[in-house]
Amino acid sequence: MPAESAPSRAQRLVPVILFAGYVAIFVWGAIKPYDRADWWAENIPIVGVVATLVVLYTRGVRFSSLAYILMAVLPYWHTVGGHYTFERVPFDWFDHLFGFQRNMFDRVAHFSVGFFAFGIIEYLLARRAMSRTLACLFAIFAIGFVAMSYELLEWLYAVYGGNPTAGADFLGSQGDVWDAQKDMLMDTIGAITAVLLFLGLRPARATASIN
């Protein structure tokens, strides 16, 4: 859809429905979480992400329906993880299906971080900030930077947060000494997947759908 066209009914409803779904999951997750301190640590960054999207929406920055759906995965997934702690989310069916020896719920969450690359590309192209190639590369590098920054945040909270149990739950390494590196890899793979999806669905001649 060209940037100057009015958004369709679906494009207006999708972000509203997704936001309502997030609020519902947030309220559910806030009721008797496994560890209240870890719940705060896990939810504060996600609330910040959602609040940013809401502010952008109210200021007229609208992404495509697909971009909103992709960006909703992380808040939904992460909020569930905050309720149980990522290590304790009932995810055995997935782990057993692929033969994993640890709870992989957090790895999927990190993969979904990369989905924000789709929206980043839409925004950059709609603003004509750079070429498609540079926009795609920027999106991947931006997600990589966020991934690295979040791992540093986890480390700082685990070491200096004052609550060893909540710090360990927030870190979520589950005994894997390479956990941080694997998490960053999953973020990056998610970003590359989102970029490939964008290139496959958005021909070079199409205009990004942000108002």
Per-residue pLDDT tens for 94-111?
989 998 888 999 999 999
What pLDDT band is residue 26 in, cutting at 50, 70 and 90? very high
What pLDDT band is residue 207 in, cutting at 50, 70 and 90? very low
Q: What is the pTM for the complete model shown?
A: 0.85
Cα(96)–Cα(4) distance, rounded to whole angstroms?
Answer: 49
Segment 52-60 long-range contacts (CB within 8 Å, at least 24 positions apart): 53/15, 54/19, 57/15, 60/211
Q: Concatenated DSSP letters for 37-51?
A: HHHHHHHHHHHHHHH
pLDDT recorded at residue 165: 67
pLDDT recorded at residue 134: 96
User: What residues does each domain of the chain span?
Assistant: 9-201
Is pLDDT of 114 > 80? yes
pLDDT recorded at residue 173: 66
pLDDT recorded at residue 171: 62
Per the model's pLDDT, the better-predicted residue between 82 and 8 turns out to be: 82
What pLDDT band is residue 53 in, cutting at 50, 70 and 90? very high
Rounded (5°) CA angle 120-73-158: 90
172: region left, alpha or beta (phi > 0 left; psi from -120 to 50 alpha): left
From 49-53, 176-180, 193-197, the region with the lowest mean pLDDT: 176-180
Is pLDDT of 73 > 80? yes
What rounded mean pLDDT belongs to the chain?
87
pLDDT recorded at residue 3: 44
Q: Average pLDDT, stretch 112-139?
A: 94
Q: Indicate the residue type of 183.
A: D
